A and B are shown apart, each in its own frame.
Chain A
Amino acid sequence: MVLDQLYQQAVLAHNREPKNAFVMKSATHSALGNNALCGDELQVYLDVLDEEIKSASFNGDACAIATASASIMTEWLGGRSTEDARAGAEAFENMLFDRPFDRDFIGEGVLLEAVAAFPSRIKSATLCWHAMIAALDGVDEITTE
């Protein structure tokens, strides 16, 4: 059943013990992602040098889908170019809107593929990605409804 795919163990594990869930004091870029409707709030931190994301972290209070997504994303971002990061955001969104995307490229992000069947939850899954792009663009806060 799709619900079991949405809340599969691998996703729930990322929610229970998220990776990179801390306030990064040394961050060069940071932005708050705010899902006004459900109250999800995630601060995303990036340590960027010469267009390379050396590491990423996040902090906040959000649902399991948003938290797992942020955990997966921050793991994925470490060591990638900012160009790759933007491409990753696009590929992830394509996956959730049932458009063609590069499965190998987004790695563990495919764990959230089932979100595509839950239109009301897509914004939960994409919140961290939007915040990451905002951080790269020098925007402090983005709100999704």
Chain B
Amino acid sequence: MPQSDLHNSAVGGWDVGAIRSNFPILSRKVHGKPLVYLDTAASAQRPSVVIDAVTNFYTGHNANVHRGVHTLSQEATELWENARESMREFIGAASCREIIFTRGMTEGVNLVAQSFVRPRVGQGDKIMITAMEHHSNIVPWQLVCEQTGAELVIIPVNNRGEVELEAFAEMLDEQVKMLAVMHVSNALGSINPVAKMCRMAKEYNIPVLIDGAQATPHLQVDVQAIDCDFYCVSGHKMYGPTGSGVLYGRENLLEAMPPYHGGGEMIRTVTFEKSTWNDLPSKFEAGTPNIAGGIGLGAAAQFIQGIGRENIRTYEADLLNYGTRRLEEIDGLRIIGTAAEKASVMSFIIEGTHPHDIGTIIDHAGVAIRTGHHCAMPILKQFGVVGTARASLGMYNTREEIDVLVAAVEKACVMLR
């Protein structure tokens, strides 16, 4: 099939061909076949506006930020701070002082674990997460528990992949000093009721951190409406550069926290006796940041907003339904993760086959999926599997691509069985 026929599906005025034309990589071939990229949950592809923002910074404005009086430094600082404003608007924060640039979701959660939670917990205290968290929202808390004697407690998840809210309600008490929960699961696709969980936690004055890595590319996110205390964004999952991200934190909490990394930029004065800290957000941005990455991330946020998150959500929901239905036609296939509210992710196993073999074989049909444990070993264990094959969707995917996936998987099954 020629490329143009493959991608002309339009749903409710959504022109996916026009969307796709923003992503240069989508026109490449893999093993002689048109690339069918179904691994957005691992890392999204980048639109030209993001690539151009990065290139434009390096070719036209490259300099360090907040340092010089010269023109380039001032331009770089302006682009950098504009990107911060784009991210503030994108997640609905009240102030740019609440937007800290990071390397990604992982740095955000470690910052909060060490600077906010570690000084506040000890023996007898509890840090609470769900059973479906990504390793990056498990391990930083285990470190704090080791350092302080606090206990990590796990909110159960049912066999559809939904948080057990009743059990959660019963687990809440004054000893819980932190709740950390993912907004959207990368392994199962579940959308968690984070606003409701924040309200429930608030009754016990429990601060809440949300792992938004898989939410911002797919859903409208408003941190004030959710009413969380911290929200971690990953740049590369939302069509932005790798090594970029932001941490949102409530201003009063960030004010009260000690710095995470020490170095340049985050200080006001330094003497060998004592240093004083810079204002927010600089206090948490030690050293020269990933300037081009942050600027690219701001462009990604604007790009997503230009298309409209409601439109993206509607289109991707239709595609997810279609994909799930088509995959379920495959003999012996079981979808892992069937929450009522889902986004983007179709995780599956097929009787008599192993995900790795499926992944290798369909790569030769140009289809890119992820296989393995998806950095979420505990929840896969609950489902009785050590790994799955996972197809994950972005705004650029099409029904025709789902058909290519299904045909390739069927062929792989014939080969393997």
Interface positions of A (Cβ within 8 A of B): 1, 3, 6-7, 12, 15-16, 37-41, 61-65, 118, 120-121, 124
Chain B CB within 10 Å — which of A7, A38, A41, A121 has the most? A38
Q: How far is the CA of A1 from the CA of B356 in the complex (A)?
A: 19
Contact partner of A64 (CB less than 8 A), chosen from B372, B380, B416, is: B416
Q: How far is the CA of A6 from the CA of B364 in the complex (A)?
A: 12
Chain A CB within 10 Å — which of B353, B355, B415, B417 has the most? B415
| A37 partner residues in chain B, CB cutoff 8 A | 372-373
Q: How far is the CA of A61 from the CA of B353 in the complex (A)?
A: 11
Q: Which residue of B lies closest to A6 (CB)?
A: B360
Q: Is there contact, CB below 8 Å, between A3 and B364? A: yes
Against A, the Cβ 8 Å flags (1 = close, 0 = not) of B367-388 are 0000111000000100001110
| B385 partner residues in chain A, CB cutoff 8 A | 39
Against A, the Cβ 8 Å flags (1 = close, 0 = not) of B344-368 are 0000000001111100110010000
Give the distance to chain A from B186, nearest Cβ to Cβ, in Å. Answer: 16
Give the distance to chain B from A125, nearest Cβ to Cβ, in Å. Answer: 11
Q: Is there contact, CB below 8 Å, between A12 and B416? A: yes
Q: How far is the CA of A118 from the CA of B31 in the complex (A)?
A: 13
In the complex with contacts A3-B364, A12-B415, A63-B357 CB distance below 8 A: yes
In the complex with contacts A63-B356, A121-B356, A3-B361 CB distance below 8 A: yes
In the complex with contacts A1-B364, A41-B386, A63-B354 CB distance below 8 A: yes
Q: Which 5 A-B pairs have the closest CB atoms?
A: A39-B386, A63-B354, A39-B387, A63-B356, A64-B357
Q: Is there contact, CB below 8 Å, between B373 and A39? A: yes
Q: Is there contact, CB below 8 Å, between B360 and A118? A: yes
Q: Which residue of A lies closest to B352 (CB)?
A: A16
In the complex with contacts A40-B356, A63-B356, A121-B360, A7-B387 CB distance below 8 A: no
Q: Which of B314-363 contact A (CB under 8 A)?
A: 353-357, 360-361
| B415 partner residues in chain A, CB cutoff 8 A | 7, 12
Residues of B within 8 A of A (CB-CB), count: 18
In the complex with contacts A61-B386, A63-B354, A64-B354, A38-B360 CB distance below 8 A: no
Q: How far is the CA of A39 from the CA of B387 in the complex (A)?
A: 6
Q: A38-B372, A63-B356 are in contact. List 12 more A-B contacts (CB 8 A).
A: A1-B364, A6-B360, A7-B361, A12-B415, A12-B416, A15-B416, A39-B372, A61-B386, A63-B357, A64-B353, A64-B354, A121-B360
What would be 23 A-B contacts, judged by CB atoms less than 8 Å apart? A1-B364, A3-B360, A3-B364, A12-B416, A37-B373, A38-B355, A38-B373, A39-B372, A39-B373, A39-B386, A39-B387, A40-B386, A62-B354, A63-B354, A64-B353, A64-B354, A64-B357, A64-B416, A65-B356, A65-B357, A121-B356, A121-B360, A124-B356
Q: Which residue of A lies closest to B358 (CB)?
A: A63
Q: Is there contact, CB below 8 Å, between B357 and A7? A: yes
Q: How far is the CA of A3 from the CA of B387 in the complex (A)?
A: 22
| B386 partner residues in chain A, CB cutoff 8 A | 39-41, 61
Against A, the Cβ 8 Å flags (1 = close, 0 = not) of B401-417 are 00000000000000111
Give the distance to chain B from A70, nearest Cβ to Cβ, in Å. Answer: 13
Give the distance to chain B from A100, nearest Cβ to Cβ, in Å. Answer: 26
| A120 partner residues in chain B, CB cutoff 8 A | 360
Q: How far is the CA of A62 from the CA of B380 in the complex (A)?
A: 15
Q: How far is the CA of A37 from the CA of B359 in the complex (A)?
A: 14
Q: How far is the CA of A39 from the CA of B388 in the complex (A)?
A: 9
| A6 partner residues in chain B, CB cutoff 8 A | 360
Q: How far is the CA of A1 from the CA of B360 in the complex (A)?
A: 13
Give the distance to chain A from B390, nearest Cβ to Cβ, in Å. Answer: 13
Q: How far is the CA of A133 from the CA of B291 in the complex (A)?
A: 48
Give the distance to chain A from B67, nearest Cβ to Cβ, in Å. Answer: 40
Q: Is there contact, CB below 8 Å, between A38 and B371? A: yes
Q: Which residue of B lies closest to A12 (CB)?
A: B416
Give the distance to chain B from A34, nearest Cβ to Cβ, in Å. Answer: 10
Q: How far is the CA of A11 from the CA of B364 in the complex (A)?
A: 18
Give the distance to chain B from A106, nearest Cβ to Cβ, in Å. Answer: 22
Q: How far is the CA of A61 from the CA of B384 in the complex (A)?
A: 12
Q: Which residue of B lies closest to A7 (CB)?
A: B415
| A124 partner residues in chain B, CB cutoff 8 A | 356
